[in-house]
Structure 1
C-alpha cells in the first residue's frame, strides 16, 4: 500500500474551483430568472382583446391617407385611436405582402397571379389559432360564395386572400362579407376583412374606400371601443414612391387614444402582435424574430 500523502495544493485548487463555481451558478440562475421576468413583463404589455378585426386596404402611402381630407373616416379613427408613424410593407407587388402578414413569409410568391389552392403546409395565423382552439375567419367582399377558391370573379381577386393557399386552413373559413356578423359577439377571435378591388382603393378612389369603411365597419368600431375589442386598418403596400411606408391605424378599447409611436414596424411585426394578442403560443416564419407593436396600448 502506498504511503504517499495527499497533494494539498491540488486539494486547495479543487476547493477554490468549487467555491468559484457556486457563485457563477447562482449568477446564472438569477440571470435566467430575471430574463424570465423580463419576458413575462414584455408579453404582459400586449392586451388580450376578445375580438380582433384586421382590414387590408390597397396601394397607398402613409402621406396619401394620414392627414388627407379624402380619408376623413380613417383619420377620425386615427385621432381616437393610434396611428403607426413608421409602418412598412415588405415588398412589391401586392400578393407577397398578404402572405407575409398572414404567414410570416412571402412563401416564394413574387407576383400577383393565382396560386395553387391548398398547396402550402407552412404554419400561419389561422393554423395557429385553430391549434390553440381559438376561432378564425376571413370576410371577403365579392367572394362568390363561402369557401370559393375561384381565381377572379368580378371585383373579387384571390390574390388578396392567401388563406386559401394553405392546406392547414379549412376553405370554409373563407366567408363572404355578407356573412360578417351583425352581433359582434359572434365574431371569431381574429378575423380579416378584405374589401373588393374597388372598395380597397385599388381600382377606385381614396374617398370610395374611406366611405366603404365607414359604412361597413363603423358600427363594429364603436362597439369595439366599449367591448374590449380591436379594429386594425392597414395596407398591403404603398404607391411605390414612398419607401413602402403604409398607413396603419388601430382603434378600440385596448388602444391609447392619440398615440402615434415612431418605432419602425412591418407586416412581420403585425403578425407577431396578432399572434400575441390572441395568445396562440407560437410565431409563424419571420414573426418569430419580429417585435410586438408597443406604445399604443392602454
Structure 2
C-alpha cells in the first residue's frame, strides 16, 4: 500500500513537472523531420580536428559544417548528456548509477543538493518534478579531479548559477507531448533491455551471477571483469522517473534499443522507420572513451594533457571508423531522403586536462537540404544545441535552452559555405574517404566493409 501511495505521489510530482513553464519555441532553424545526434567521448577540439588518425571525421568536418567555438558545459559525462537532452544537470554532477525505481528517495531537484563524486553521493534518485539544479562553476575542483588547479568547465570563465525553476523533463517528454517520437540507440545494450542495467558488454551485465556459471571461471578471468561497453551514464533518459516507470508507453524504456536486432538502429535505418529524434551512443570502445580492461585499440589514452601526442591513436581511429559507418548507414536510409534532416556529431567533454586548457569540443552538423562548408566561430555550448534542435522540431525551449544570451546554431543548420559548389544538396560525404592514414582506397574500403 505504501508503495502504491508513493507511486501516486511520484506520478503527481512528475505531472506537475510536465506542466512547468517552458519558454517560447526558438527560431532560426528550418523545420526538421529527423535529427540524428551521435555522441562521442572525452576529447577536445584540438585533439580531433587535424588529427591524422581521424581522416573521416576531418573530411566530414571540412565538407559539412563545423563549430569552431563550441564548449561542453561541465564534467563528468552524465552532466553533459543531461544538458544536451534536458538543458540542465538536474542536480547531478557525477556518473553515479540510477537508483532504479526508487519512489522513496528525494530528488536532487527537490533537495537542492548536488549528486557529486567528491564528496561521494549515493545513486541518482529518479529525476522528476521541479526544483533547483546544481550551479556550474568555471573551475571544478570536486568531481573526479580534486584540488587546484581544477578542471575547466566551459571556457574557464563562464559559469551558471543554480536554477531554482528547473523542470525535470527532457526533449523526449516534449516530443511525445507533441505527437512525435524518440529513441536512444545504445550499442551493446543487453538483450533484456536497459531496465536495472548499469553496464554491460552486450551479454553480461552488472546483474549477472557469475557464480552460477559452471565450471567456475579462472581467477584471472574473473578478476578482469566485464568490459563496460554499454554504460547507463551515456544513456541520459534512463535517469528519469517517467521513463523508468513507463507510464506512457511512448516514453519508456522500450525507447532504448541496441544497434542490432529487430527495432535496433541498423534495422530502423534500413527500413526508413526512424523516430523524429535519435540519440546514438556507440559503445565505450567505439566512442573514443576507452576501457582499461579491453584490448589495445580500446585502451585509455596514455596522457590526459590535451595534446594529440598523449592519445591512443588506435582508439581515435576506432572511433573514426565507427563514425564513417554510422554516417554511411544514415545516408543510405530511405528516411534521409525524405523531408529535411540533420546529423549532429558532438563530443560530450574534453579529456579532463587541467587549466589553462578549456572544455572546447568539436561539433559537426550535416543536413540534406543545404550545402556545407561553414566554420562557425560563434560561441555555442550544449544548451545551444538543445535550443537549436527544439527550434527545428517546433518545441518550446527547456531550462537553460531558454537562456537569451545563447542563439540558435542557425549558421550551422543553414550551411552555405565554400564547399557548396563541390558538395551539392544531399550529397553522400561518407563514400571514398580513406579510413586509415596513407591507406589505398582498396584497403580503406575493405576495412570499412569489415565494420558493416
TM-score by length of 1: 0.81
Which residue in the other structure is 1:20 paired with?
none
Which residue in the other structure is 2:408 paired with?
292
- Aligned equivalents of 1:194, 1:218: Cα separation in 2: 16
After superposition, what is the alpha-carbon deviation per residue over 1:251-270, rounded to whole angstroms, capped at 9, x for unaligned? 12134410011011111111
2:64–2:364 CA contact under 8 A, matched in 1: yes
Bigger Cα displacement from structure 2, 127-136 vs 176-185: 176-185
Which residue in the other structure is 2:367 paired with?
252
Aligned-partner SS, 2:342: strand
After superposition, what is the alpha-carbon deviation per residue over 1:142-190, rounded to whole angstroms, capped at 9, x for unaligned? 1113343301112111111110111233111111111011336311111
1:184–1:220 CA contact under 8 A, matched in 2: no
1:148–1:174 CA contact under 8 A, matched in 2: no
Which residue in the other structure is 2:190 paired with?
144
Which residue in the other structure is 2:239 paired with?
165
Say which structure is richer in helix.
1
2:270–2:332 CA contact under 8 A, matched in 1: no
- Aligned equivalents of 1:291, 1:141: Cα separation in 2: 32
Bigger Cα displacement from structure 2, 213-222 vs 52-61: 213-222
- Aligned equivalents of 2:392, 2:271: Cα separation in 1: 18
Matched, 1:265 2:347: no
Map 1:49-128 → 2, pairs under 5 A: 49-117=32-100, 119-121=126-128, 122-128=168-174
Q: How many residues align?
A: 257
**What 5-or-longer segments of structure 1 have no aligned partner?**
1-38
Bigger Cα displacement from structure 2, 232-241 vs 282-291: 282-291
2:42–2:347 CA contact under 8 A, matched in 1: yes
Map 1:22-33 → 2, pairs under 5 A: none
Distance of aligned partners of 1:95 and 1:255 in 2 relative to their CA distance in 1, 3 Å threshold: farther
Aligned-partner SS, 1:168: helix
After superposition, what is the alpha-carbon deviation per residue over 1:54-98, rounded to whole angstroms, capped at 9, x for unaligned? 011000011111122111111222122100001111111111111
Aligned-partner SS, 2:346: strand
**What 5-or-longer segments of structure 2 have no aligned partner?**
1-23, 102-125, 129-167, 202-228, 244-251, 291-297, 299-314, 416-452
Distance of aligned partners of 1:100 and 1:277 in 2 relative to their CA distance in 1, 3 Å threshold: same
- Aligned equivalents of 2:62, 2:337: Cα separation in 1: 17
RMSD: 2.0
2:40–2:282 CA contact under 8 A, matched in 1: yes
Cα offset, 1:52, TM superposition: 0.6
Cα offset, 1:49, TM superposition: 2.1
TM-score by length of 2: 0.54
